[in-house]
């Protein structure tokens, strides 16, 4: 061991012994005094499997599982949720365009107008009696034209 690291007397094991089959002879905790403070290494035995934990009780397997879950959320679920939000917004705009056509048909029948405009949520829907059609620019900046066939 380096001279700056000392094994504390509070350690309940002094050495880690491995049997010829690769298992650990005795579990326990080794406590070390270092230049940056006290550190511990805990060695567990569970069903013949051994693993190490750091002084905060976090093992490598727990860390890897946590990282996997973070990558799963941000790598697949978040883009999927964003795509679903975009589709929903486009469908809402299309529904408003069809509502505008319905209002235009009522206006054409009652007042005889041949064109008009309607603004909903910052989007301007322009309609014409010819067709009848409605034009608007969606939230992605694309020009859209819907007509009744």
- pLDDT score, position 83: 94
Q: pLDDT by residue (tens digit) across 121-133?
A: 999 999 998 888 9
With cut-offs at 50, 70 and 90, classify the pLDDT of residue 84: very high
Query: What is residue 95's predicted lDDT score, i.e. its pLDDT?
Result: 95
Is the pLDDT reported for residue 47 higher than 70?
Answer: no
What pTM was estimated for this model as a whole? 0.53
Residue 32 tokens, joined: 């070390």
Give the count of beta carbons closer than 10 Å to the beta carbon of residue 104.
26
Pairing state between β 115-120 and 28-34: unpaired
CB 27 within 8 A of CB 44: yes
């Amino acid at each position: 061991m380096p001279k700056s690291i000392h094994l504390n007397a509070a350690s309940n094991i002094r050495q880690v012994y491995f049997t010829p089959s690769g298992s650990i002879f005795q579990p326990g905790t080794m406590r070390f005094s270092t230049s940056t403070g006290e550190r511990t290494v805990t060695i567990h035995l569970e069903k013949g499997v051994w693993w190490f934990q750091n002084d905060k009780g976090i093992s490598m397997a727990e860390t890897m599982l946590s990282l996997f879950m973070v990558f799963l959320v941000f790598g697949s679920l978040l883009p999927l949720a964003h795509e679903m939000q975009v589709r929903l917004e486009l469908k809402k705009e299309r529904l408003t365009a069809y509502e505008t056509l319905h209002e235009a048909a009522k206006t054409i029948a009652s007042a005889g107008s041949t064109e008009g405009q309607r603004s909903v949520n910052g989007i301007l829907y322009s309609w014409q009696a010819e067709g009848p059609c409605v034009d608007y620019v969606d939230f992605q900046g694309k020009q859209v034209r819907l007509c009744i066939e």
